[in-house]
Structure 1
Amino acid sequence: MSRTRTARPAGDESHVTARLAAEFAADLDHRTVVAVVRTCRRRLDGVPAGSLPELLERLAREELRDVVGADRHPAR
């Protein structure tokens, strides 16, 4: 049986993607959020696993805010 890989992020990445997709739903489509989270995940390669979820979410949120403009989506 062969398995095909889905376009969905795995593990902590999928939780971060879901939260940020909901948070930015009014401004960005889901594919954009997925792309930003994946890029941020690659940038954080080598970060200790225990720190990764929080750092990934923070970095991705800042990147997404830059995409939509900080004035349209203020910091939490």
Structure 2
Amino acid sequence: MIKKLKEEILLKDASIKKVQFDKYWFYDLKDVSDYLNEDLSEVEFIHLPFIVDEVKVNTKCATLEDIERIRTAREKAI
């Protein structure tokens, strides 16, 4: 059974880097992968800049919908 993701929880979790563009939130895929303890390498992503320790870092990011689409497809394949 896969762990359910809720946008409210992701937005409050300080361990997950996130950024909002327009009305969509984009989450750092590595942080979400660590949070879920799942491989999210199949998720379509874009590179977005984050400031980490005063250094600009381009990071693979995706929306919650993109992440859930892959997780749901993977669960149906099992």
Q: Report the TM-score, using the length of structure 1 for normalisation.
A: 0.33
Greater relative contact order (CA < 8 Å, ≥ 6 in sequence): 1
Larger helix share, 1 or 2: 1
Q: Report the TM-score, using the length of structure 2 for normalisation.
A: 0.32
Larger strand share, 1 or 2: 2
